[in-house]
Structure formats: structure tokens, C-alpha cells
Amino acid sequence: MNSSTETGPAAGERDDVRPPILLVEDEPTTRLLLARQLARAGYAVEAVCNGAEALAMLKKRFFPLLITDWDMPEMNGVTLCKAVRLLPLEGYIYTILLTAREGKANLIEGLASGADDYLTKPPDDSELRARLNTGERILKLEQSLRVANRRIHMLSITDALTATFNRRYLMERLPQEIEAAHRHQRPLSVILCDVDHFKQVNDTYGHQAGDTVLKSVTAILMQSIRKDIDWAARYGGEEFLLALPGASVTAAMALAERIRAQIQAHVFEFNGGTCRVSASFGVVGHESSRSGEDAGIDRLIGRADRCLYDAKQSGRNRVSGEPPDSGASGSST
């Protein structure tokens, strides 16, 4: 039997939107009655007739709540509960095992399979609602925990001053970009940017002014790169690294030159005054045909750093770059 949606009008009329439920029951009359019972409680219900169908459905769509019968053909409820706990899902699924079986041994077996709760058939309407309310509270707690964990993770990879990614993120993410470039045989370019004579800004105007300059430079960088494709990280005190997946060295050189010109033309304002700064850039491309140590992060950043050094030595406020797998560098002002 193919899956079908069995919902009542009450599901769309409630102000408090409740999570959808996947109902698994092989007996058609019982399935229909349970679906109506759940719809009256305000839930949208998707109903299937066995565990195999339920598992296939969960791989296509996420259901925070799962109510499953125990005894079913093809895949029973206990086997389904075990399989669900092994799925890579976007969140937790609160599972209620529904059965005519009674006794402590069955309760223990059901909970041991991964079910969160256990109800005997036919379920009392008020008891079913109470158990689902408990499930919703647990789901909200789980969701709050995931949000908190994501926030903590973002704080751990974000530079506190500039709000770009930090060096920790860079050292984790750049090897992944290199591997992706190698796997898909696509270009990857890296720009290393350093604010020229930044120590003089701090010494002349104070560290708060210096912080303002770094924030403003960051804003220019972030406005210049592609959203959700490129990314920026603070590599050092006044150094930033831009990763440009899919971008050729020629395109990266052009981007670096545009950023250089914007920084040079910008008037940096802070409490008590204004100033101008410039920046130097080292640009390199990853050679996607390389693998192993030759394609590592140390080599790529090392090449970018050498190009940046060339730009500094050539008078600063310029872009210096080299193509993939090349020892020669060129510069532009």
C-alpha cells in the first residue's frame, strides 16, 4: 500500500502549529481511527502501513514525532525504532511504540529498541495527548540544545573583533577546499591581504582606532567576495585570507586589485579623527592535479605568503601573484 496523508480540518485551524506525525499501522481501520484521533488533537498526520514504508518516508522527509505499531509485516515497530536511531537525521525523532502487548518484558524490549514511550492499544485519547505533549517538550529542549551548540560552535570559529572566521576555522576549512578542488578538478585561489604599516595606526591614533580600521577593512573584504561561495578568515593581527573556490588566479588577481583600490580610496573614520591606509596582497592558485603533501595547506599558504612578501618588498600597496604550480611571481600596482 502506498503512503497517504490523513489529516482533519483541526490540523490547519490551530494557532499553535504542532510538529507533523508519521503514523505507522498496518491495520487499515485502526490506522484511520488513529489518524483522525491525532488530527483532532491538532496534528498533521502522514500514515503508512509498515516499517519499511516508514523508513523510506523518513529518508525523504523529517518527522519530529513517530507513532508506530509493534506487530507489522515486512518490518515491525521494534526493528523500525532501531533503524531510525541509525539514520543521519536533521534532528531528534520522538518515538512512541504502540502495541497490544502488555507486560514489563515487552516494555523493556520496546524502550531498549530506541522508543521513547510505550502505549497499549487502543490508546486513550487524553493519555495519547499527554504523551505527545511530553514528546513536544522534549523536542523543544533538544532543539534549544542544538541552537545553543550551533551558537557555541560559531563563537569558536569566529574572530571576536572582525566577525570573520578565525584561524582555527581556516586551518580546518582550507584543507577541505583543497580536497574538493582536487576531487572535482576545479580551480581554487587564495588571497592573503595585509594592512600596510598597521603598527603606525595603533601608535599614532590608538588601538581603538586600529580596531575600527580592521573592522572597516573587513567590511570591504566581505562586500567584495561572493556570498555563500567565498569566505574570509583573519589569519593574523592585520592579515586576512580570502578563499575563492572555483576562481582562477587571473580572476583572483583582478579581485585583489579592486579591493586594494577600495582600501586605498577609503577614509577610515574613528572617534577623534580619520586616516587612510593601504594594503598589500599575495595571490596564488591551487594546482588541482597535485595531491598529497604537495597540495597541502602549508604549501598553499606558504606560496601566498611569499607573494605577499614580494608585494611588501616592491613598495607595498600592490598585488603580487603567481599561477598554480609556478615559481615565478608577478606584481601590479
DSSP string, 195-235: ETTHHHHHHHH-HHHHHHHHHHHHHHHHHHSPTTT-EEEE-
239-245 and 188-195 as β-strands: parallel, antiparallel, unpaired?
Answer: antiparallel
Q: 5 with 43: CB under 8 angstroms?
A: no
Please give the DSSP secondary-structure letter assigned to residue 158: B
279-286 and 188-195 as β-strands: parallel, antiparallel, unpaired?
Answer: antiparallel
Task: Give the integer Cα–Cα distance in Å for 270 and 201.
Answer: 12
Please give the DSSP secondary-structure letter assigned to residue 71: S
| DSSP E strand stretches across 84-141 | 94-99, 117-120
- What strand order describes the sheet that includes 117-120? 4-5, 45-48, 21-24, 65-69, 94-99, 117-120
Task: Give the integer Cα–Cα distance in Å for 33 and 47.
Answer: 11
What would the grid cell of residue 225 be? 567576495
| b/e sequence 275-294, b meaning 16+ C-beta within 10 Å | bebbbbbbbbbbbbebeeee
CB atoms within 10 A of CB 162: 21
State yes or no: is 25 an active-site residue.
no
Q: Which of 25, 238, 287, 322 is catalytic?
A: 238
Catalytic residue annotation:
238
